[in-house]
Amino acid sequence: MTLARKGDVAIFGEVSIGFPSMELRRAGHSVELTFLEFKLLKFFICAAERVVSKILRVPSLFPDGT
């Protein structure tokens, strides 16, 4: 399966991710995610074509150090 991007929505099989609305849907049903879970999902989708070291992941996810 491949990831398709349509504007601000990413589609992977029966999963769609709306970035502006922070909404994840699977087979048409909403899947609840915490803010951090959604942020992690978005980070890994945006980095799908590259290897990301642990050092690069942490600051971009927690810019305020929390």
pLDDT digits (tens, 9 = 90+) for 24-41: 999 999 999 998 889 888
User: Does the pLDDT at position 58 exceed 70?
Assistant: no
Q: Going by C-beta distance under 8 Å and a sequence separation of 6 or more, which residues neighbour residue 57? A: 43
Cα dihedral sign for 59, 54, 41, 10?
A: positive
Q: Which domains are seen in the chain, by residue range?
A: 3-61 (1.10.10.10)
The pLDDT > 90 percentage for the chain reads: 30
Q: Where are the alpha helices (DSSP H) in 20-61?
A: 35-46, 54-61
CA–CA gap between residue 14 and residue 27 (Å, rounded) = 5
Residue 53 DSSP class = -
Under DSSP, the state recorded for 30 is E
What's the average model confidence in pLDDT over 15-29? 93
| Average pLDDT of the segment spanning 40-59 | 71
